[in-house]
């Protein structure tokens, strides 16, 4: 009990002195410095925003492609992002079999990319959670696996793989959301689709990587991003017609990425 | 009181452990204590008094938690959230090697996340983690 009191006093002192120091710090009320980097959201973040927008029949919005034998690291990376997004959809839908397929496809692609070592502990844990139908923990594990993988790849200098995987996940996320709003148009909620800054960021990143952009698939994906930029610029409010255009373009890109 | 409790719990995350990095401990803590998923992570090296700037588009209807930290316990990490026009919206300038902000929005917003090395003389690695639920 005495120890607890001492500990409490210590913590309160830390809190008080911390706040005193805090009061002395000068904080600028405005800061117009332009950040050099953009924090890319996980595909689940975009899909969760759609989930909160209404009751969604997820199964009708996604094609669970089970192909995993892609040639070339660029295509493998793009497909990794797509399958992670699809796995999140299967989680939302509590679709046991398709989630299992996506989890195995993610692992197979990661083996081809030579990064299965990082994914394996998550892959095994997710399998166990799946047996218990613990969908919440599966979501959290999958998100953590995705970001941890990207973080480790970045540290190891595989920034191309991280970028392409993010772009693949982005296209699949926007493809699913735009498919929903193409038939369930809601002017107040289509804002989720308006990822102008993220698209600009991807375009800028690819512009810096001339060698990467020469790859035929990456080149078409890049053109897809440019097409999205044009749609966003032409219709800032995103009418149903524009939403359908976004869906047509993202569907075309996803078909290109997932074709073996 | 809530801040004291958060302080106690968060300080414990930075007690060195051989098996787990601070990153893993923070991710696990946010997950187990708030059901937060990790959206993104980014690190930078910051000299004393300098800042590390990032843009982030926040989605409507989601709750966010932004954590900035340094594994170097001598670094006083401060965290600021500015809107797109550069106006300060939230800050955590408390003393210590970590800072935390909670944020939610009902419309999609692009914000500026700023991490500052307030006091440490040297090039300190600082990381910002964005969680959502």
A151 pLDDT above the threshold of 90: no
Cβ within 8 Å of residue A101, ≥6 positions away: A64, A66
State which residue of chain B sits closest to A154, comparing Cα positions.
B42
Q: What is the pLDDT along chain B (133 residues), one digit of tens a residue?
A: 555 556 556 656 665 544 568 888 999 899 888 889 999 999 999 999 999 999 999 998 999 999 999 999 899 999 999 998 999 999 999 999 999 999 999 888 999 999 999 987 889 999 999 999 9
Mean pLDDT within A205-228: 97
* β-bridge mates for residue B80, sequence order: B91, B114
Through-space distance between the first and last CA atoms of chain B, rounded to whole angstroms? 24
Q: pLDDT value at position B18?
A: 44
CA separation for the pair A169, A223 (Å, rounded) = 17
What residue spans define the domains of chain A?
A: 43-258
**Residue A195: its H or E element:** none
Q: What is the ipTM of this complex?
A: 0.81
Q: pLDDT value at position B13?
A: 63
Which residues of chain B are within 8 Å of residue A25 when distances are taken between CB atoms?
78, 93, 118
Mean pLDDT within A66-78: 95
Q: What's the pTM value of the predicted model, to 2 decimals?
A: 0.85
Is A147 within 8 Å of B41 when comparing Cβ atoms? Answer: yes
CA separation for the pair B97, B116 (Å, rounded) = 11
Mean pLDDT within A62-89: 96
CA separation for the pair A7, B4 (Å, rounded) = 11
Buried b or exposed e, range A102-130, using 16+ CB within 10 angstroms: bbebbbbbbebbebeebbeebbeebeebb
- Which three-class secondary structure state does DSSP give residue B53? strand
What part of A 29-48 touches B (C-beta under 8 Å)?
29-42, 44-46, 48
Average pLDDT, chain A: 90
State which residue of chain A sits closest to B60, comparing Cα positions.
A49
A22 pLDDT above the threshold of 70: no
What part of B 18-37 touches A (C-beta under 8 Å)?
23, 27, 31, 35, 37
Contact present, A201 and B54 (Cβ < 8 Å): no
Is B95 within 8 Å of A21 when comparing Cβ atoms? Answer: yes
Contact present, A5 and A109 (Cβ < 8 Å): no
Structural domains of chain B sorted by starting position, each given as residue range(s) with its CATH number in brackets:
2-132 (2.60.120.380)
- Which three-class secondary structure state does DSSP give residue A210? helix
Query: What tokens were used for B29?
Result: 């803590």
């Amino acid at each position: 009990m005495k120890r607890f009191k001492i500990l409490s006093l210590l913590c309160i002192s830390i809190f008080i002195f911390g706040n005193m120091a805090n009061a002395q710090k000068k904080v600028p009320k405005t800061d117009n410095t332009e950040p050099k980097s953009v924090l890319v959201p996980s595909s689940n973040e975009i899909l969760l925003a759609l989930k909160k927008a209404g009751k969604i029949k997820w199964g009708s919005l996604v094609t669970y492609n089970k192909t995993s034998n892609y040639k070339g690291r660029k295509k493998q990376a793009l497909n990794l992002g797509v399958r992670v997004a699809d796995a999140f959809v299967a989680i939302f839908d509590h679709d046991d079999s398709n989630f299992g397929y996506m989890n195995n496809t993610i692992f197979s692609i990661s083996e081809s990319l030579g990064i299965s070592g990082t994914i394996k502990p998550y892959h095994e844990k997710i399998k166990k959670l799946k047996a218990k139908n613990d969908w919440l923990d599966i979501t959290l594990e999958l998100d953590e696996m995705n970001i941890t993988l990207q973080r480790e790849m970045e540290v190891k200098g595989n920034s191309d793989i991280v970028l392409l995987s993010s772009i693949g996940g982005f296209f699949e996320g926007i493809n699913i959301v735009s498919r929903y709003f193409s038939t369930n148009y809601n002017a107040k909620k289509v804002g989720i689709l308006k990822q102008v800054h993220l698209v600009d960021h991807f375009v800028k990143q690819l512009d810096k990587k001339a060698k990467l952009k020469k790859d035929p698939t990456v080149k078409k994906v890049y053109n897809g991003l440019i097409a999205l930029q044009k749609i966003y610029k032409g219709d800032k409010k995103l009418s149903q017609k524009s939403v359908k255009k976004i869906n047509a373009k993202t569907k075309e890109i996803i078909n290109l990425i997932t074709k073996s | 009181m809530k801040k004291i409790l958060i302080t106690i719990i968060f300080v414990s995350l930075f007690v060195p452990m051989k098996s787990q990095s601070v990153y893993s401990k923070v991710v696990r803590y946010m997950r187990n204590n708030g059901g937060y998923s990790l959206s993104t992570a980014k690190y930078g090296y910051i000299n004393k008094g300098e800042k590390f700037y990032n843009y982030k588009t926040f989605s409507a209807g989601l709750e966010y938690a932004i954590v900035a930290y340094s594994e170097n316990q001598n670094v006083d990490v401060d965290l600021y959230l500015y809107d797109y026009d550069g106006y300060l919206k939230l800050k955590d300038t408390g003393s210590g090697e970590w800072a935390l902000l909670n944020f939610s929005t009902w419309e999609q917003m692009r914000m500026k996340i700023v991490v500052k090395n307030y006091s440490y003389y040297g090039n300190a690695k600082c990381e910002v983690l964005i969680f959502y639920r």
